[in-house]
Amino acid sequence: MATTAENRVASDAKVLQSYLGGKWQAGTGEGTSLINPTTGDIVASASSKGLDLSTALSYSRNVGGRELRKLTYAQRAELLGKIADTLAARRDEWFEIARKNSGNTKADAAIDVDGSIGTLKYFAKIGAKLGDTRMLRDGSPSRLARDPNFQGLHLGVPLDGVAVHINAFNFPAWGLWEKAAVSLLAGVPVFSKPATSTAWLAQEMVSAVLEADILPPGALSVLCGSPNDLLDHLQLGDVVAFTGSADTGEGIRRHPRIRKQNIRVNIEADSLNAALLGPDVQPDSMDFGLFAREVVREMTSKTGQKCTAIRRVLVPDYHEQAAIDALSAQLKMTVVGDPANALVTMGPVVNMAQRKSIGEGIAQLNTRADVAYEPDNFAPLDADTEHGAFVAPTLLRAREKGNDDVIHEVEVFGPVATVVSYRDKHDAFALARRGGGSLAASVFSGDTNFLTEAGAALGTSHGRVLLVDPSIRESHTGHGIVLPSCMHGGPGRAGGGEELGGLHGLWFYHQRVAMQGAGPTLTALNERAADPHE
């Protein structure tokens, strides 16, 4: 492993191998170092240099795909349940890896680890309802001509390729299993490429599932290290699901092989999500305080490193200072430091490069916004800023809404948000839409008419809209929590993708086919397929 004066090698540092072609394989060379962002120590390394990815993909298609498609949806759903149980049995181990390699507090690790286990259990449950079938149907046979015997039917046939899943650094567990759960249920083998900087957790989870001998050979592969020429070997029937930056997503879409073969791609990318405080909510009300609590939770949870985190806080101009005061009061209670200390509520960002990026992003925002809150004499608990990738939670206030494009264009992927005031509801909706397409928006109000207007106005530019009134103030799951039953994705700069959404997500891994033929033939096909809407 390559080391520097700043990065010591931990005594128990791991060398991460890849599981390809039905066996563990090590790349050549020193590889990329994985860092403990709290201490700066090297905890692992990963190299994919020299690995034969073409052969590995062929094995996934020809062995994994064939074996998975022999099983029914119900049988594959049963496998998901076994994976969930296997992972749940080693939950504490996953939490410890998340602390060491991602700087996660216990609460942060729970979002990732428990979220992945819960998603697997959810798809195991709803997948069982599809029964002993191997195709999906969309509607019933319908007459196509004067002859009533000539009919048509739309079916979904599982793809015969491999699902390449390229995941971001912030959710090494959930990113792996939320995609894999749907793909495996559909009958399409998984070839996972976790972000190298936090690949340790993903690799260990895959290893645990392989050791348990749950899945057919070739159904699950993991590549640790650089993707190298991975995309060069894709072909018709393969799919790519990517989570990460918009620039990388665009590079995937424009890859020559993907364009030539018209490979199906799903992108989840950058997102300037917003929280909107309704004009009716008063500063002395409970809902005002809960709004501030939710914003701060999203700023500091996972150290703001969530694709759904709140980046813009939209408040009525007559409540701007009250909102800043409430947010600042909440932020002052944030304890930043070593997540091994139970008092710490926010750990470091993933590495020094990310810390530098956040600093540069704040500088960009400062051209149009002023600092409204940052802690005095910032000093992480049981840690230091020389070795640890710590960032102070920072709240900004936009200066001039008419000249603040940067606030609606620059996403700072850390514990940073900007307060933007609005004049009226139309101004508020317009500001929210200036994000250019987002994963999520939250609206807090006791006015049902305002909430319904907001839902309709923001629906065209957001993948999910959370409308919070007093009746669900304590029961809603939160702005940033992605539920497997609801669609995850967003238009525009958010990537234009759609993941999860219950059984809706299965269609990404199926070819929708218009079957035409005689009534008895279509009826027979219809009986062999399951309706995911039932």
Which residue ranges make up each domain of the chain? Answer: 53-269+497-530, 273-484
Strand 32-35 versus strand 190-193 pairing type: unpaired
Residues 6+ apart with CB under 8 A from 231: 164, 240, 252, 255, 257, 258
**What local confidence, expressed as pLDDT, does residue 241 receive?**
97
> Residue 5 — very low, low, confident or very high, per pLDDT cuts 50/70/90?
very low
Q: What is the 3-state secondary structure (H, E, C) of 400-452?
A: CHHHCHHHHCCCCCCCEEEEEEECCHHHHHHHHHCCCCEEEEEEECCCHHHHH
**What local confidence, expressed as pLDDT, does residue 204 receive?**
98
Alpha carbon distances (Å) from 507 to 109, 146, 275, 397, 410: 30, 32, 31, 43, 33
> Residue 1 — very low, low, confident or very high, per pLDDT cuts 50/70/90?
very low
**What local confidence, expressed as pLDDT, does residue 10 receive?**
66
Alpha-carbon span 399 to 368, nearest angstrom: 6
Over residues 15-40, the pLDDT tens digits come to 999 999 999 999 998 899 999 999 99
The yes-or-no verdict on residue 401 having pLDDT over 50 is: yes
Residues 6+ apart with CB under 8 A from 396: 362, 365, 366, 369, 370, 371, 372, 416, 417, 418, 419
The mean pLDDT value of the chain amounts to 94
Cβ distance 310 to 318 under 8 Å? no
CATH superfamily membership of 53-269+497-530? Aldehyde Dehydrogenase; Chain A, domain 1 (3.40.605.10)
**What local confidence, expressed as pLDDT, does residue 11 receive?**
66
**What local confidence, expressed as pLDDT, does residue 256 receive?**
96
Locate the DSSP E strands across 201-360. Answer: 220-222, 239-243, 264-268, 273-277, 310-316
Weakest mean pLDDT among 127-141, 364-378, 401-415, 470-484: 401-415
Interval 2-22 mean pLDDT: 76
Interval 500-516 mean pLDDT: 95
Same fold, 53-269+497-530 and 273-484: no
Higher pLDDT, 31 or 8: 31
Alpha-carbon span 378 to 384, nearest angstrom: 10
Interval 252-259 mean pLDDT: 95
The yes-or-no verdict on residue 282 having pLDDT over 70 is: yes
Q: Positive or negative CA dihedral for 66, 67, 71, 76?
A: negative
**What local confidence, expressed as pLDDT, does residue 403 receive?**
62
Closest CA to 359 of 325, 385, 324: 385
**What local confidence, expressed as pLDDT, does residue 402 receive?**
57
**What local confidence, expressed as pLDDT, does residue 8 receive?**
79
Q: What are phi and psi of 168, to 5 degrees?
A: -85, 165
Q: What are the start-end ranges of the H helices in 63-130?
A: 66-69, 73-88, 91-102, 106-128
Interval 506-514 mean pLDDT: 96
Over residues 439-478, the pLDDT tens digits come to 999 999 999 999 999 999 999 999 999 999 999 988 999 9
Over residues 347-363, the pLDDT tens digits come to 999 999 999 999 999 99
Strand 190-193 versus strand 220-222 pairing type: parallel
**What local confidence, expressed as pLDDT, does residue 404 receive?**
72
Tell me the residue type at 294.
E
The single residue listed with the structure tokens 């348990």 is: 212
**What local confidence, expressed as pLDDT, does residue 4 receive?**
43
Percent above pLDDT 90 for the chain: 93
Alpha carbon distances (Å) from 119 to 181, 197, 366, 394, 505: 7, 24, 39, 32, 12
CATH superfamily membership of 273-484? Aldehyde Dehydrogenase; Chain A, domain 2 (3.40.309.10)
Cβ distance 252 to 227 under 8 Å? no
**What local confidence, expressed as pLDDT, does residue 405 receive?**
87
Interval 403-407 mean pLDDT: 81
The yes-or-no verdict on residue 2 having pLDDT over 50 is: no
The yes-or-no verdict on residue 283 having pLDDT over 60 is: yes
Q: Read off the DSSP letter of residue 60.
A: I
Strand 394-398 versus strand 462-468 pairing type: unpaired
Instruction: Return the active site residues.
Output: 268, 307
Over residues 178-229, the pLDDT tens digits come to 999 999 999 999 999 999 999 999 999 999 999 999 999 999 999 999 999 9
**What local confidence, expressed as pLDDT, does residue 534 receive?**
64
Over residues 39-71, the pLDDT tens digits come to 999 999 999 999 999 999 999 999 999 999 999
The single residue listed with the structure tokens 């099983």 is: 71
